[in-house]
Structure 1
Amino acid sequence: MPFSPQAYRPDWPILSLGDAFYDPVAAADFPETILRFRNDRAAAQIGLADLTDDEWAAHFGRFVPLPGTLPQPLALRYHGHQFRQYNPDLGDGRGFTFAQLRDDRDRLMDLGTKGSGQTPWSRAGDGRLTLKGGVREILATEMLEALNVPTSRTLSLVETGEELMRGDEPSPTRSAVLVRLSHGHIRIGSFQRLAYERDEASMRALVAYVLRHLYGEDSDDPVRLLTHVVDRTATLAARYMAAGFVHGVLNTDNINVTGESFDYGPWRFAPTWDPAYTAAYFDHAGLYAFGRQPEAIGWNAMQFASSLRLIADSDPLVAALDGFAPRFQRELAAAILWRLGLAPVDPDTDRATVRAVEQALRTTATPIDRFFFDAFARPDLPATYGEPWAAVRTALAAHPPRSDRAHPYWSGEPCGMQIDEVEALWAPIATADDWSPLHAKVAAIRTMAAALR
């Protein structure tokens, strides 16, 4: 196997936590391993881009251990609030941590799976992933990365040759196993489990692990960790909004303590700036609607602080939580200005621009992707943007550009990702095993990313 000692740097710090945090498991023995997607751009950052397709399928379809890292997969244990109802019967039920590696920025990265088989935490589930679900995760992660949202990346998708029965889509349907590259898989729910079990020693150990290995600090201070998590999750909430993204299931077991978005189920991009727009058909109360995502993520940060009360005093935890709202407001202004291609000026001017943009988008029902494309390409906005946009024109004119508009992307059409297009990209795969439209879309998304940056 071609490993570069400069690029491939295996690690295994999660083993230092001990077996109270995870269960060793084995991957399912799949009938087939057909490679459908490999992200060589992400693989290059961890020294794996030179794998042959056969080696790739062996490691990410059969889960032959990578040299020098975890000897076998680990299913992590955690609890969580699911739609605000506490559930102590959770854990990795169809995935596991397969390996840990250092990337080209010296960050500790996990290779985690989805659809890799049953674990002790599978409950009544089959531990599998539909191929369509894997395709949707590719599209979500590629689009979010392009729009500057901190996200896991889809490293690999391998079709596995099983027929799955699902109640929410036509069945039987094809199966797959996905590998994601993520900056840790420690969740708010990982800490909730330890608080629930009143396990102070393990809580202190997990705080120290996250601070040392995910934040690069030699500390075991829970308040320090909460401050980091508040900052990172507020940033995530702001960038979701600027991207027009609706995750759909913002439960505490789906919030990573590094503030990196992951685990994409019923996600959607909102067509317009509609605060009530939801992604999950089962979210009847709109708990995780587009406009309620900052509230939901802030509530999750509160549950994290509540868990840390096991080993910390309340007052400094509350003081750290108070930083969420101002951090969110600053990051929202920065994220919207970034997507507009404009540089910040000062906090008051930046906030005024964001208010003008949000009000115009909400009251005119202008498509989000169309507006940001037009505003980046022509900050004066074309004549088709009439009187309701006068305040936006004035606000945009107060900001200098942060980059030029020379990229050919800006002379075409906006690259979006509405649900109808997701279905249209899946249709040729389902009917004719034609993957070319999907690969073309990934290429188009990456072209947009280059233009935005």
Structure 2
Amino acid sequence: MAIDPQVYRPEAELLTLGDGFFDPVAPADFPETRLRFRNDRAAAQIGLDTLTDDEWTRHFGRFSPLPDTLSKPLALRYHGHQFRNYNPDLGDGRGFTFAQMRDEGGRLMDLGTKGSGQTPWSRAGDGRLTLKGGMREILATEMLEALNVPTSRTLSLIETGEELQRGDEPSPTRSAVLVRLNHSHVRIGSFQRLAYERDEAGLRTLVGYTLRNLYDENSDDPVRLLDLVVSRTARLAARYMAAGFVHGVLNSDNINVTGESFDYGPWRFAPTWDPAFTAAYFDHQGLYAFGRQPEAIHWDVMQMAVALRQIAESDPLVAALDQFGPRYQPEVTEAILWRLGVRPRDPDTDRDLVQATERALRTSSVGIDRFFFDAFGGELPGTYDEPWAEVRAALAAYEPRKDRSHPYWAGEPCSMLIDEVEAIWAPIAEHDDWRALNAKVAAIREMGEALAE
């Protein structure tokens, strides 16, 4: 087998949680497996980039076990609030954790699936993923990675030869199975399930597992865990805002305790800085609108605090939870300065610049990506008049963190608005032509190189 033994470091830490946290399942037996996307850049970090295409398809389409890790796929159990309504009937309904390993930095990583078949938690679902949904997840994860948002990465997409019926896209539509690379699939909803079942021993076990394996801390202190989750999720919320990204479904079962964005359904990038912009057609109240995402994530973390109340005192949990706002503010300042391509100065001056930028974006019709492209390095073009005078004056005092010599800056800003998503899908649906997708992934990665430190 063509696995790089110098990099591949298999693990099976998930098994230490015990049988009550997951259910062994069998993957679907698909009619066919046609490799459509393999992310060798991500695979290289876990020693799997040397797999042949046949080996890749066998592991990530047929789910033949990888060496020395999980011997069977495991569907994780969890609950969660969905649009603020508690649902105890959740769990991995069309996915499972397939393997664990260390990346090149020593972090424990999960390989999780989407569209891999039915599980005990599928309810009335078919356990499948549409090919279009898989393509959209590739675009979301590539774009967010380039924009410095902590995210899962799409490792693999394989078309599986089934016709699916869906109410939200023309049907029948093509099927696929996706594999994502994540630091973890432990969710806030994982803790909520244990609290709902009044399983204090299970809560303590999961706290210890999370601290040791995901935060590298030899502790089982639930207050310490909540404090860390507050920091990571505040950073996630801030970077969503700087990226102009709207997740669409920020339910507590979709919030990873490591603060990584994942599980992309009705996502969108906002064209302009419109706080009311929503991604999900069914979000009628705008609960997860662009400008409400920090509030939504904070509310989800509050549910983790409620769950941990069974094994910890209220006052220290509340004190940790109350740090979300104070930690979010410097995180959003740092994230927007990063997109502006300037070095921080001092907290008050930096905050003033960020607030001026947000005001100008709200009151103008300039696109988010257009503005950050033009302003990168700290100098606004002359075409930016009112209401940009305050931003221009503030930027003049800043030093660029990187110059504009990369070829990316000679072109146009790389965006990912919904019309382009549809335009990339159309040739795949009509002619099985993947050139537009491959070209877009290359363009996104070029942008990432231009923005990176």
Residues 290-347 of structure 1, C-alpha deviation per residue, up to 9 Å, x if partnerless? 0000000000111011100010000000110111001110000000000110111111
Q: Which amino acid aligns with 1:180?
A: R
**Which position in structure 2 is the counterpart of 1:316?**
316
Residues 218-238 of structure 1, C-alpha deviation per residue, up to 9 Å, x if partnerless? 100000000100000000000
1:156-195 correspondence runs (5 A): 156-195=156-195
State the alpha-carbon separation in 2 of the partners of residues 207 and 121 from structure 1: 23
State the alpha-carbon separation in 1 of the partners of residues 357 and 328 from structure 2: 17
1:229-244 correspondence runs (5 A): 229-244=229-244
2:36 aligns to what SS in structure 1? strand
**Which position in structure 2 is the counterpart of 1:253?**
253
Q: After the TM superposition, which parts of structure 1 deviate over 3 Å for at least 4 consecutive aligned residues?
A: none
State the alpha-carbon separation in 1 of the partners of residues 159 and 82 from structure 2: 30
**Which position in structure 2 is the counterpart of 1:436?**
435
Task: State the Cα distance separating 1:387 from its structure 2 match.
Answer: 2.4
Aligned partners of 2:246 and 2:279 also within 8 Å: yes
1:220-235 correspondence runs (5 A): 220-235=220-235
**Which position in structure 1 is the counterpart of 2:424?**
425
Aligned partners of 2:3 and 2:49 also within 8 Å: no
**Which position in structure 2 is the counterpart of 1:370?**
370
**Which position in structure 1 is the counterpart of 2:446?**
447
Residues 250-288 of structure 1, C-alpha deviation per residue, up to 9 Å, x if partnerless? 000000000000000000000000000000000000000
Residues 71-90 of structure 1, C-alpha deviation per residue, up to 9 Å, x if partnerless? 00000000000000000000
State the alpha-carbon separation in 2 of the partners of residues 398 and 75 from structure 1: 53
State the alpha-carbon separation in 1 of the partners of residues 202 and 380 from structure 2: 55
Residues 202-229 of structure 1, C-alpha deviation per residue, up to 9 Å, x if partnerless? 0000000000000001100000000100
**Which position in structure 2 is the counterpart of 1:147?**
147
State the alpha-carbon separation in 2 of the partners of residues 25 and 275 from structure 1: 42
Q: Which amino acid aligns with 1:81?
A: H
State the alpha-carbon separation in 2 of the partners of residues 5 and 162 from structure 1: 36
1:312 aligns to what SS in structure 2? coil
1:344-383 correspondence runs (5 A): 344-376=344-376, 379-383=378-382
Task: State the Cα distance separating 1:380 from its structure 2 match.
Answer: 2.4
**Which position in structure 2 is the counterpart of 1:304?**
304
State the alpha-carbon separation in 2 of the partners of residues 303 and 349 from structure 1: 35
Q: Which amino acid aligns with 2:402?
A: S
Task: State the Cα distance separating 1:408 from its structure 2 match.
Answer: 1.2
**Which position in structure 2 is the counterpart of 1:107?**
107
Q: Which amino acid aligns with 2:104?
A: D
Task: State the Cα distance separating 1:374 from its structure 2 match.
Answer: 0.0
**Which position in structure 1 is the counterpart of 2:63?**
63
When the two structures are superposed, what TM-score results if normalisation uses the length of structure 2? 0.99
**Which position in structure 1 is the counterpart of 2:410?**
411
State the alpha-carbon separation in 2 of the partners of residues 395 and 132 from structure 1: 43
State the alpha-carbon separation in 1 of the partners of residues 278 and 3 from structure 2: 44
**Which position in structure 2 is the counterpart of 1:213?**
213
Is residue 2:83 matched to residue 1:83?
yes
State the alpha-carbon separation in 2 of the partners of residues 394 and 21 from structure 1: 55
When the two structures are superposed, what TM-score results if normalisation uses the length of structure 1? 0.99
1:112 aligns to what SS in structure 2? strand
Task: State the Cα distance separating 1:365 from its structure 2 match.
Answer: 2.2
1:382 aligns to what SS in structure 2? coil
State the alpha-carbon separation in 2 of the partners of residues 411 and 9 from structure 1: 41
Q: Which amino acid aligns with 2:441?
A: V
Task: State the Cα distance separating 1:405 from its structure 2 match.
Answer: 1.4
State the alpha-carbon separation in 2 of the partners of residues 24 and 358 from structure 1: 48
Q: Which amino acid aligns with 1:439?
A: N
State the alpha-carbon separation in 2 of the partners of residues 438 and 4 from structure 1: 28
Q: Which amino acid aligns with 1:135?
A: M
**Aligned residues: percent identity?**
78
Greater shift in the superposed pair: 272-281 or 383-392: 383-392
**Unpaired segments ≥5 residues, structure 2:** none
**Which position in structure 1 is the counterpart of 2:389?**
390
Task: State the Cα distance separating 1:133 from its structure 2 match.
Answer: 0.1
Q: Which amino acid aligns with 2:147?
A: L
Q: Which amino acid aligns with 1:213?
A: N
- Give me the CA root mean square deviation: 0.6
State the alpha-carbon separation in 2 of the partners of residues 142 and 28 from structure 1: 27
State the alpha-carbon separation in 1 of the partners of residues 349 and 69 from structure 2: 49
State the alpha-carbon separation in 1 of the partners of residues 225 and 34 from structure 2: 41
State the alpha-carbon separation in 1 of the partners of residues 159 and 393 from structure 2: 51
State the alpha-carbon separation in 1 of the partners of residues 407 and 87 from structure 2: 50
Residues 378-417 of structure 1, C-alpha deviation per residue, up to 9 Å, x if partnerless? x321111012100001111222111121111111100000
**Which position in structure 1 is the counterpart of 2:25?**
25
**Which position in structure 2 is the counterpart of 1:401?**
400
